[in-house]
Amino acid sequence: MANARTRAGSNLLLDEYWESGDDRFVDEVLSLTAGKKLKSLAERWLKDSRPFARRTLLAYIADGCDRPHHRPLVKSLFKLAEKAHDDELVGHFMVAFDRLVERKLVEKSRYDWASRQSRKVRVLVGTGKHPARFWGRDDSAPHFSKATRNYLRRRVLRYFRDVGRKDPVRYGKVIRKALVLYRDDHLDKPERLLDAWSLLHVLYHGADALDRLPDGIRVAKDHSLAELAPAPLWPEAWQGCFEDVLALVTSAKGRTVRVFAVELLKAGYARELGALTMARLRPLIANPNEEVQIFAADLLRTAEGISSLTVAEWLELLQIDNPTALGFLCEAIKKHVSPARLTLDQCVDLACSPVAPVAELGLDWAMTKKAAGIKAIEATLRLATARAPRVREAAAKWVVSILSTAKEARMTHVRDLVDARYDDVRREALQLFERDVRFKDDPALWSALSESPYDDVRAFLLAHLVQREKALGPATLERIWATTILAVHRGSKQKRTALSQIAARIVEHPAEAEPLVGLLGYALRSVRPPERRAALAAVSRAAFQAPALRSAIGRKLPELSLFQEERA
């Protein structure tokens, strides 16, 4: 009784949605499992002239036509669409039926009698999810049998084959509308593409790389899917329709269809492609799909009006996120744009691109500019953030060469390079710092090095610390030594250098001994033997060179027994 009441309520809700034209009607239909009730919907659904009815009907078919107990409704709708010669509806059924058959790739052993050896091969087999066929009439089965699935996809292709035989122009129009509906998630694996019976016949009917067998399509021996070239069913339907095929490139939802359309255009419409203007190409270049961007970028070489593009338009084109297409664009911009048309700032912007071809172009053009004056120097300093490694390395050398010769170069410019996030930039900056007399004696710059978060900069400072102690205060020196000794990842060579410097500082400046002896203690308690030995040597050196410090050392490091004989 409860189930009966539930079904009655559902039927009332379904009828209410239908009468009111509520789009929730299709969701309610998809949730039903009563086959007879569903079958009764077919004729009135198809014949209803309301946009609502058509919209929900297409949405129902797009769901895949494989819901449990929906066999009667799907078969009735398909037969009625065939009878009514409803090309659009049958096209939607074609896409849905191409998803009904599913095989999987498995690895099997094959024995070669000639070589008397077994070898592993990958073959397509059925998933076993559905029975092969139903014997007799069985309306209670929830899903189509395997035989019916194969029959449905063959029958829908037969419909379009008959249309093409009688009227190729009509066939071309309706089939292109259907092709737009295939999505990438329908064809995300090679086996799913091979199971798309109608699609492969429509696009690659004459392809030698495919074998059409009763149990499905397979890749022919000694061939691969990569060899597929356009060989459509009814080729005449694809002639004289350049605009339609070009529209398919941008409107298709599946990569397989887009690639087919691109290859067909290249093979059969070379003259029309060569006459495309920049206005026509710009939407193609802005397309989010990689194969379309590459196709459009390649056409730039012959596009009409390309030489009249403004610099801003070229820079906008170079914003696409496709390295291959950008390679073509860079070739075109080199051919049609003079570096003199770009400012130094614009060239630097290009050089900071993460895409190597664009970055190389930007740096090449930037290096043709005269980098004189503070503004020019500050513009080139932005090259320290370039993301293409080879470009950044070359840019760092160029920027350093500018700073080494420019009268306007300042300590802050060098400091900015030393603070760069990339080690190749910092390396060049430190070499400039070391050799240029204008910077190597600047106390403020040495002090700035002590605040760096980078190990290589602190190692550089540590190596020069003996000569630069006067430029740094006791607190700064203590911080440098502390970060060196306490650094987990720093090598023992740098730590031993720091320990030696601490010992010398204690002897020369006894007043600073207390905190510095504490640092020696941290190193002395290190778990690494080389660092313990270095710390012990430093403590001993300080103690024997400055006997007055022995009491302080004894308090800070009570575990040592260097002076037992004195205490005795």
DSSP string, 275-333: T-BHHHHHHHHT-SSHHHHHHHHHHGGG-BTGGG--HHHHHHHTT-S-HHHHHHHHHHH
DSSP for 439-481 reads HHT-HHHHHHHTT---HHHHHHHHHTHHHHGGGS-HHHHHHHH
pLDDT of residue 248: 96
Kindly indicate the confidence band of residue 510, based on its pLDDT and cuts at 50, 70 and 90.
low
pLDDT of residue 140: 65
DSSP for 537-548 reads HHHHHHHHH-GG
Please enumerate in sequence order all residues whose Cβ is within 8 A of that of 528, keeping only pairs 6 or more positions apart, or say none.
492
Question: Does residue 534 lie within any of the structural domains?
Answer: yes
pLDDT (tens digit per residue) in 33-70: 887 889 999 999 999 999 999 999 999 999 999 999 99
Average pLDDT score, the chain: 83
Q: When comparing pLDDT for 420 and 512, which is higher? A: 420
Long-range contacts of residues 159-163, Cβ cutoff 8 Å, at least 24 apart: 159/82, 159/90, 160/90, 160/94, 160/198, 160/202, 160/233, 161/233, 161/234, 163/87
Does 223 have pLDDT greater than 50? yes
Assess contact for 446 and 433: CB atoms under 8 A.
no
Question: Does residue 565 lie within any of the structural domains?
Answer: yes
Q: When comparing pLDDT for 32 and 527, which is higher? A: 32
The predicted model gives 7-15 an average pLDDT of 71
Q: Which of 359, 404, 402, 354 is nearest to 379 (CA)?
A: 402
3-state secondary structure 39-102: HCCHHHHHHCCCHHHHHHHHHHHHCCCCCCCCHHHHHHHHHHHHHCCCHHHHHHHHHHHCCCCC
pLDDT (tens digit per residue) in 437-488: 788 777 667 666 666 778 787 777 767 665 555 555 566 655 655 665 545 4
Amino acid letter for position 120: K
**Run of H or E residues at 491:** none
Question: Does residue 491 lie within any of the structural domains?
Answer: yes
Q: Which of 185, 187, 191, 220 is nearest to 206 (CA)?
A: 220
Cα gap 91→444, rounded to integer Å = 75
Does 1 have pLDDT greater than 50? no
561: containing domain: 475-568
Question: Does residue 486 lie within any of the structural domains?
Answer: yes
Amino acid letter for position 125: V
Question: Does residue 543 lie within any of the structural domains?
Answer: yes
Structural domain count, the chain: 1
Amino acid letter for position 232: P
pLDDT (tens digit per residue) in 42-51: 999 999 999 9
Does 134 have pLDDT greater than 60? yes
pLDDT of residue 332: 85
Amino acid letter for position 315: L
Q: When comparing pLDDT for 27 and 309, which is higher? A: 27
Question: Does residue 306 lie within any of the structural domains?
Answer: no
∠ CA 204-210-211, rounded to 5°: 125
Amino acid letter for position 518: G
Question: Does residue 563 lie within any of the structural domains?
Answer: yes
Question: Does residue 363 lie within any of the structural domains?
Answer: no
The predicted model gives 377-385 an average pLDDT of 93
Residue 139: how many CB atoms within 10 A of its CB? Answer: 11
Cα gap 143→68, rounded to integer Å = 6
pLDDT of residue 452: 72
